[in-house]
Amino acid sequence: MLAILVAAGLSTLAVSDLLRHRNATIRAASGILVVLSPLLLSSVFLTALSVSRSLPTAAHAAAHSSGTPRANAAGVVLWLVFDEMDEELAFERRPASVRMPAFDRLRSESIVASDVRQVADRTLRAVPAMTVGRTVLKADPAGRSALMLNFDSSSPAVLWKDVPNVFSEAKRLGRSTAIVGWYHPCCREFGGETACCVSSPHSGGEPPTVWRQYALSLGASALIGAQAVHGLGIALLERSDLLGTLKAQSDVIRSAHAAQVRSLREALLRAVGDPRIDFVYAHLPVPHAPGLGTPSGREPDYLDNLEIADSVLADVRLALEASGRWADAAMLITADHGYRPDLWAAPFASARVTRLLAGTRGGRVPFIVKVPRYSGAVRFDWSLSAIAAHDVVVGMLNGSLKTPDSVLAVLEKLSASGGSRQ
Ligand SMILES: [Zn+2]
């Protein structure tokens, strides 16, 4: 139990405090722990605490949703969030040897906003902000299934699920929704709004959520004392054998992450292939660290993960084309944040990615809008915040964004207002 508490404490410290340290060893180790926080805790420690439960499949859950399947006259709406996909690295600086044919093709048939700023550099704030269309100043887990959001320093915190969001709007519009979530336990927050919901990649354990980690971390801090936990974390990180141990765990981390990607890809494809579902939201754990795949002669890295993300999009398109739903589909693809060097520290660092990073601005995410029945390439170069995702998705859901001009008008308006409706 002590190991769990210490690990949980270290996890939070890695996220919040250790990144500020100048010491290179600590920076590298803290980078590893940030990666460990969603992965190792879930795969190694949390498994021991978890209560086994089976996940609903999309087909199973849809079959048990209330009412008869709706006619899908408006066309399916998809919102895909690829965690950590970076506009510059994926589409402006990507080496020719790294192939993303599905993304390249879609970008040649869609509205591509090229200067979209990430909402935040951490998933905890970025995903809720995009779902509600407002900048989130602070996000605090309040138990295992509730996230408190602060939009400014003078107003009290409010529950994420109580703020009007894309899921509540979909429900109001009668859209049958599928959520395929990662990191945030979306099913606990929004499961009641949906026909089917999968937010755990593990078949026998708790989702690797910040909620549970944070609750454990708070427990560790309360038990031992925040300063003691902090001091212990520093002492441990300065021991080289801990770094060695963490490196030895990298295969475990990669394996757990690969399982999450597989599981969520399957859940997404089930939802996309179900004609009763007409709004699909998916938050996918690629190209987020660690690198996956089996390249010869080197460790897998961020660019390998971009290719995996591309294969997910290719599968989504194939599934929609096979069911005759591609042409009428409306889709937004974006990311919660861009590439984060601190999370790709050793042992996940890559020489070829390091070379690409020279001179990058950072902090820009893809923003690709597929308009139903339209296949022209349109580029939108005005500066925009990724918060615009909310208004675009809501416009797709309510049918007001069915033409390129209508989408561009919304983007221009949001650009002029800084992207937020506050
Ligand atoms: Zn993220």
Is residue 287 reached through a cis peptide bond, with omega within 30 degrees of 0 on the bond before it? Answer: yes
Residue 217 predicted with pLDDT over 70? no
Distance 336 CA to ligand 1 centre (A): 5
Report the C-alpha gap between 236 and 26 in whole angstroms.
10
Residue 382 predicted with pLDDT over 60? yes
**Structural domains of the chain in order of their starting residue, each with its CATH number:** 59-205+250-416 (3.40.720.10)
Report, as an integer, the average pLDDT of 186-205: 62
Distance 131 CA to ligand 1 centre (A): 14
Distance 332 CA to ligand 1 centre (A): 17
Distance 288 CA to ligand 1 centre (A): 7
**pTM listed for this prediction:** 0.78
Residue 406 predicted with pLDDT over 60? yes
Distance 68 CA to ligand 1 centre (A): 36
What does the pLDDT read at residue 96? 97
Distance 157 CA to ligand 1 centre (A): 22
What does the pLDDT read at residue 58? 35
Distance 322 CA to ligand 1 centre (A): 31
Report, as an integer, the average pLDDT of 344-371: 92
pLDDT class for 249, splitting at 50, 70, 90? Answer: low
Report, as an integer, the average pLDDT of 86-103: 97
Written as six digits, the tokens of 388 are 């615009």
What does the pLDDT read at residue 4? 36
Report the C-alpha gap between 399 and 77 in whole angstroms.
10
Could you give the 3-state DSSP secondary structure of residue 345? coil
Of 117-131, 232-246, 315-329, 358-372, where does mean pLDDT reach its minimum? 232-246
Distance 41 CA to ligand 1 centre (A): 17
What does the pLDDT read at residue 289? 86
Distance 337 CA to ligand 1 centre (A): 6
Distance 199 CA to ligand 1 centre (A): 15
Distance 37 CA to ligand 1 centre (A): 12
Report, as an integer, the average pLDDT of 180-195: 77
Residue 357 predicted with pLDDT over 70? yes
Distance 30 CA to ligand 1 centre (A): 17
Distance 67 CA to ligand 1 centre (A): 35
Distance 65 CA to ligand 1 centre (A): 30
Report, as an integer, the average pLDDT of 296-320: 96
Q: Which residues contact 33 (CB under 8 A, 6 or more apart)?
A: 10, 11, 13, 14, 18, 237, 246
- 75 or 5: whose pLDDT is higher? 75
Distance 372 CA to ligand 1 centre (A): 28
What does the pLDDT read at residue 254? 84
Distance 74 CA to ligand 1 centre (A): 31
Distance 374 CA to ligand 1 centre (A): 30
In DSSP notation, 146-193 reads -EEEESSSSSPPEEGGGS--HHHHHHHTT--EEEE--SS-HHHHHGGG
Residue 66 predicted with pLDDT over 80? no
Distance 370 CA to ligand 1 centre (A): 23
What does the pLDDT read at residue 419? 55
Distance 124 CA to ligand 1 centre (A): 8
In whole angstroms, what separates CA 352 from the centre of its chain?
Answer: 24
CA-based torsion, 214, 219, 220, 222: positive or negative = positive
Distance 31 CA to ligand 1 centre (A): 14
Of 66-75, 354-363, 393-402, where does mean pLDDT reach its minimum? 66-75
Report the C-alpha gap between 273 and 3 in whole angstroms.
43
What does the pLDDT read at residue 412? 97
Report, as an integer, the average pLDDT of 158-164: 93
Written as six digits, the tokens of 329 are 């589909």
What does the pLDDT read at residue 257? 85
What does the pLDDT read at residue 141? 79
Q: What percent of the chain has pLDDT over 70?
A: 68
Residue 92 predicted with pLDDT over 90? yes
Distance 256 CA to ligand 1 centre (A): 17
pLDDT one-digit tens code per residue, 139-156: 887 776 778 899 999 999
Report the C-alpha gap between 267 and 261 in whole angstroms.
10
Report, as an integer, the average pLDDT of 4-25: 36
- 70 or 400: whose pLDDT is higher? 400
Residue 42 predicted with pLDDT over 60? no
Distance 66 CA to ligand 1 centre (A): 33
Distance 284 CA to ligand 1 centre (A): 9
Distance 258 CA to ligand 1 centre (A): 16
**For residue 144, which phi and psi values (nearest 5 degrees)?**
-80, -15
Report, as an integer, the average pLDDT of 319-346: 94
Q: How far is CA 52 from CA 194, 200, 336, in A?
A: 23, 12, 30
Distance 166 CA to ligand 1 centre (A): 19
Distance 17 CA to ligand 1 centre (A): 18
Q: Which residues contact 67 (CB under 8 A, 6 or more apart)?
A: none
Structure letter (DSSP) for residue 73: T
Distance 83 CA to ligand 1 centre (A): 5
- 145 or 201: whose pLDDT is higher? 145
What does the pLDDT read at residue 34? 43
* Mean pLDDT across the chain: 77
What does the pLDDT read at residue 102? 98
Distance 319 CA to ligand 1 centre (A): 26
Residue 100 predicted with pLDDT over 80? yes
Distance 261 CA to ligand 1 centre (A): 14
What does the pLDDT read at residue 186? 78
